[in-house]
Each structure stands twice: as C-alpha cells, then as structure tokens.
Amino acid sequence: MGFADKHLGIYLSHRGELVDYATAIVGDRGRGEDVVQEAFFRLRSSSADRPLDEPLGYLRRIVRNLAIDWVRRLASEGKFLAGSVVSDMVAEDRTSQEYAIIKRDELKIVMHAMAELPERTRIALELYRFEGLKLKDVAARLGISVARAHSLVYEGLEHCRTRLIQES
C-alpha cells in the first residue's frame, strides 16, 4: 500500500475523532470539518515522497495547528464569535448573541493567558486539554514525572481561570 493509500485509510478511520477535536477548538462543526480536510491535504502533500513515523500524530498536530491558527486569526480580526464569522451569522435571538459574545471574549482571555505561560507549562496544558493526552503521556512526552506533569497542567489551568476571573 502506498503512502497516499495509507494516509487515506488513517484519515477515513479517524475522521470523526479529528472533526470532534477541531470542532472543540474552533467551536463550529462545519469549520471543524474544513480544518480536518485541509489537514489531510497537507499531510498528503508533505509526505508524498517520504514515509512518516507517526502519520496519525502528525495529522492531529496539523489539525490542532490549523484550528488554533484559524481561531487566532479571527480573534485578532475581531470576527470570532463562538466559532462563526460575524458575516455568516443568521438572525438569532438576543440571548444566543450575548452568549456567543461572552464566549468569544472568554476565548480571547484564555488564548492570551496561555501565551503568558512558560513554554513547558503551556505545552503540558495543550497536550492535556487540546490533544487529550493522559498525564502519564504528557509526562513521557516532556520527559518529566507524572507528578510534575500534573503540577504543570494544574498551574496552567489555574492561570487561565485566574485571568478569566480578573478580566470578566
């Protein structure tokens, strides 16, 4: 089986999981599906000539990076609204719009709070919350003890919570 066939198999068997993952970051299922499809195209083009050791892990990283880039871009443009672009919004009741605005503002606060974290703490938190790794896997990935991984994730979460409380 060629690389392209292998990647298509990985994509098809993990598509639902990847879309759920992207949707959790971007807040919109349709956009999550777009992110996953774009990630698959990037996987195929980047690995056309050479095999990858962990194609699924690499695909997950591409999905994560594309989703975060999309959120950051729209947040910086002031257009991110609970996963939707303002121009794409249809008439909704006032409560939904207010809720979306609150969530958009909270997302901005959390993104800024994560950017303030020390690199290792931020990476540990991203691995745990965005990639869904268990603490033992975070520890293994970072070459630290499980207790230290727990401490880093806890510190990162507390920093984000504190920022949300301070700025809300």
DSSP at 131: S
What is the C-alpha to C-alpha distance for residues 49 and 77, in angstroms, rounded to an integer? 37
pLDDT for 13 equals 83
Instruction: Give kind and range of the element (H or E) at residue 84.
Output: strand 84-85
What domains lie within the chain, and their CATH numbers?
A: 1-89 (no CATH), 90-168 (1.10.10.10)
pLDDT for 80 equals 46
Instruction: Give kind and range of the element (H or E) at residue 4.
Output: helix 3-26
CB atoms within 10 A of CB 39: 23
Buried b (16+ CB within 10 A) or exposed e, 110-141: bbebbeebeeebbbbbbbbbbbebebeebbee
pLDDT tens string, the chain, 168 residues long: the values are 454 556 677 778 888 888 888 888 888 888 888 888 888 888 777 655 566 677 788 888 888 888 888 887 777 665 544 444 433 444 444 456 776 777 778 888 888 998 999 999 999 988 888 888 888 999 999 999 999 999 998 999 899 888 888 886
What are 84's strand-pairing partners? 81
Contact, 125 vs 153, CB < 8 A? Answer: yes
